[in-house]
A and B are shown apart, each in its own frame.
Chain A
Amino acid sequence: MSTAQQQRICSEWEPINKSEYRGIWVYIEHANGVIKEGSLQLIGKARELAGKLGDADVTAVMLGYNLGDLVKEPIYYGADKVIYIDNPVFSKYIPHVYAEAIVYLARKYKPEIILFAGTKRGRELAPYVANSLRTGITADCTDLDVDPKTRDLDQVRPTYGGNMLAHIRTPTRRPQLASVRPNVFPTPPRDTSRKGEVIREEFNEVIDPRGPGLVEVRSVVKGDELPPVEKSDIVVVAGKGVGGPDGVKLLTELAKELGGTIGGSKKVVDAGWLPSDRQIGQTGKTIRPTLYIGVGVSGAIQHIFGMKESRIIVAINSDPNAPIFQYVDYGVVGDYKDVVTKLLELLRNRKKG
């Protein structure tokens, strides 16, 4: 280890002693008193990694204002410790301010691993934190493992259009950072009898007074509009085969009944039957819901690219030779209108009965 440290490194990196770094951190994202599912899932994964390392704690890191009892929640999901800062400075989310606070805590406590949920905000914060600590980071991992001998984190992510999986390591620097896609790991059970340590930290760093920061927040999710395709566990996707806006309307009913959302293939979006932010595929969104139902979707490879990691894939299509049937768990050959209408009927009867 000492020879590695004596090796010449970038003049802007501080030399580090790897053995001083211990423990796994999970950055806890929360809003309106609720912790994001992706963060809870990482506590579960961190627990497993800590078990493999033998002598590592799982610590949840939280920033916020008036956090109250929320700071105990990570313990119930498996964390050994919570380190938090409760300060008016965090009443508004400002990326560089949040990132600097995490950097400050990481410098003080020296964790060997820091995990972020790969939400929009998580993916914004994590690289700044890694960079300021002069260490490596891997984005959007789909799996994680540790090597108990070297204590290196094995960070697995799809690359080059999803055809390859890269295993990325940070052998010479600590901490090791990764963001992880939500929903790749299960949420651990909540156990309120679990006990752990809760540590309050202060943050007195001077914040660069470069403006008021966040000045306005506007919510755009209207009451009657279904959630964005990336956010939903169940996505019903309309293909060209649904014939027009009426077909999309029928599928939207199905999506609502299932508690999911509606998406479309490129052809459907190009035809103007759905807005472009609902397009699934290589030039649209990549989704990995629990359930994908493609209706009248033929299954062009560009579309498959955007949904092939869904847990269960269902297709309804009148053409038995449609390529999508190569990718399904359950396929129905038939007229979609009849099948979907019957399916809706069954679902509604179930609710009544």
Chain B
Amino acid sequence: MKEGLTIVVPVKAGVPNITAVRFDPVTHNIVREGVPLMLNPYDRNALEFALRLKDKYGGKVITLSMAPPSGKDFLESTVGMGADEAYLITDRVFAGADTLATSYTVARTIQKLFPNFDLIVFGEETTDSTTAHMPAQVASWLELPYVYYAVDAEVDVKNGMIRVTRYLEDEGVYEVYEYKLPVIISVYKNSNPPRDISLNRKIQARLSGLVKSVTNNELKLDTFCVGLRGSPTIVAKLEEAKPIERKKQIFKGSPEEAAKWLLENLVKEGVIKA
């Protein structure tokens, strides 16, 4: 019988919003090389979710990320938070991937490196791309059930069953799903406040080489399925987002007059019924 859970947490190195981003003039893709990368904040909620399951049921938590070689650094911080091992998928052939090609690379890597995984736990989305595509796309490649917006889970390790509670914010509803493992989960971004990153563990990760790099020499993925060539979508054009023109009408006067003036305008705009 197997002991504990093998949980894989794919994470992303995001480009911080405050960074002046550069775009490739030909592909319009963001240039990630040489840019300081940070761990996508919602992936920390996902890692926390995974670590809590490990604390409760035993096993191990493995993080992995597809990123340029500089991604090793932020993967060390996932070990600092409590992951047992971390893998950096890094190869020039993976560059320029859209979500289909990225999910392919991540899904096939997990199958090759951790064929006996029980759970794949994602963050809800990334703050720099905000697509939330990855969990469903990886589920499609692996033909597994999946559930988004998870806030909690209970596992019956003996029978290999999981009960996932998820929260649908726009409907104000909790739903509980029961599946046989393995499954794919994405974690609701406002849940599972992450524990601190231990600097000691992070340094230990570096000294003992806990972050391993994997290239396509080992993975042997069809190069037409990855990177730019494996990406059906193209960024045809990028433009500066034009801020919405505002009326900027400012009222100064007595509270009575101000309230009346506001109401009149809001009725005129049709946002309050006449």
- Whether, in the assembled complex, A120 has its beta carbon less than 8 Å from a beta carbon of chain B, the answer is yes
**Which residues of A from 2 to 27 have beta carbons under 8 Å from B?**
8-13
Pick the residue among A221, A312, A325 that contacts B248 (CB under 8 A). A325
**Which residues of B from 98 to 116 have beta carbons under 8 Å from A?**
98-100, 103-104
Pick the residue among B30, B172, B236 that contacts A220 (CB under 8 A). B172
Give the residues in chain A near B139, CB-CB below 8 Å.
96, 128
Pick the residue among B140, B167, B244 that contacts A131 (CB under 8 A). B140
Are A128 and B137 also in contact (CB < 8 A) when A162-B241, A312-B269, A330-B251 are? yes
B102 to nearest A CB, angstroms?
Answer: 11
A203 to nearest B CB, angstroms?
Answer: 17
B136 and A339: CB pair below 8 A? Answer: no
B171 and A120: CB pair below 8 A? Answer: yes
A342 and B255: CB pair below 8 A? Answer: yes
The interface on chain B, measured as residues whose beta carbon lies within 8 A of the other chain's beta carbons, has a size of 88
Are A166 and B244 also in contact (CB < 8 A) when A221-B172, A291-B272, A341-B255 are? no
A18 to nearest B CB, angstroms?
Answer: 12
Interface 1/0 per residue, A171-192 and B, CB below 8 Å: 1110000000000000000000
Give the residues in chain B near A212, CB-CB below 8 Å.
178
A10 and B222: CB pair below 8 A? Answer: yes
Pick the residue among B100, B225, B241 that contacts A11 (CB under 8 A). B225
Pick the residue among A9, A167, A342 that contacts B238 (CB under 8 A). A167
A10 and B246: CB pair below 8 A? Answer: no
Give the residues in chain B near A140, CB-CB below 8 Å.
130-131
Give the residues in chain A near B130, CB-CB below 8 Å.
139-140, 159
The interface on chain A, measured as residues whose beta carbon lies within 8 A of the other chain's beta carbons, has a size of 100
- Whether, in the assembled complex, A300 has its beta carbon less than 8 Å from a beta carbon of chain B, the answer is no
- Whether, in the assembled complex, A127 has its beta carbon less than 8 Å from a beta carbon of chain B, the answer is yes
A211 and B179: CB pair below 8 A? Answer: yes
A69 to nearest B CB, angstroms?
Answer: 23
B224 and A9: CB pair below 8 A? Answer: yes
- Whether, in the assembled complex, B87 has its beta carbon less than 8 Å from a beta carbon of chain A, the answer is no
B136 to nearest A CB, angstroms?
Answer: 4
B74 to nearest A CB, angstroms?
Answer: 18
A291 and B271: CB pair below 8 A? Answer: yes
- Whether, in the assembled complex, B157 has its beta carbon less than 8 Å from a beta carbon of chain A, the answer is no
User: Which of B2-10, B59-67, B143-151, B197-205 sits within the interface?
Assistant: B143-151
A12 and B145: CB pair below 8 A? Answer: no
User: Which of A163, A316, A332 has the most chain B CB atoms closer than 10 A to its own CB?
Assistant: A332
B236 to nearest A CB, angstroms?
Answer: 5
Pick the residue among A124, A134, A329 that contacts B249 (CB under 8 A). A329
**Which residues of A from 225 to 239 have beta carbons under 8 Å from B?**
227-228, 230-231, 233-234
Cα-based distance from A324 to B51 in the complex (angstroms): 41
A54 to nearest B CB, angstroms?
Answer: 22
Cα-based distance from A8 to B209 in the complex (angstroms): 39
Interface 1/0 per residue, A209-229 and B, CB below 8 Å: 011111111111100000110
8 nearest A-B residue pairs (beta carbon): A221-B172, A136-B233, A338-B255, A342-B259, A131-B140, A10-B225, A161-B17, A136-B232
Extra pairs beyond A95-B145, A328-B250 (8, CB < 8 Å)? A96-B144, A128-B137, A130-B137, A136-B233, A213-B178, A221-B172, A228-B169, A339-B255
Q: Could you give 8 example pairs across A and B, Cβ below 8 Å?
A: A121-B168, A124-B146, A128-B139, A138-B233, A160-B128, A213-B177, A332-B252, A343-B259
Point out residues on A near B: beta carbons under 8 Å: 8-13, 31, 93-96, 99, 119-121, 123-128, 130-132, 134-140, 154, 158-173, 208, 210-221, 227-228, 230-231, 233-234, 258, 276-277, 282, 290-291, 308-309, 311-314, 316, 320, 325-335, 338-339, 341-343, 345-347
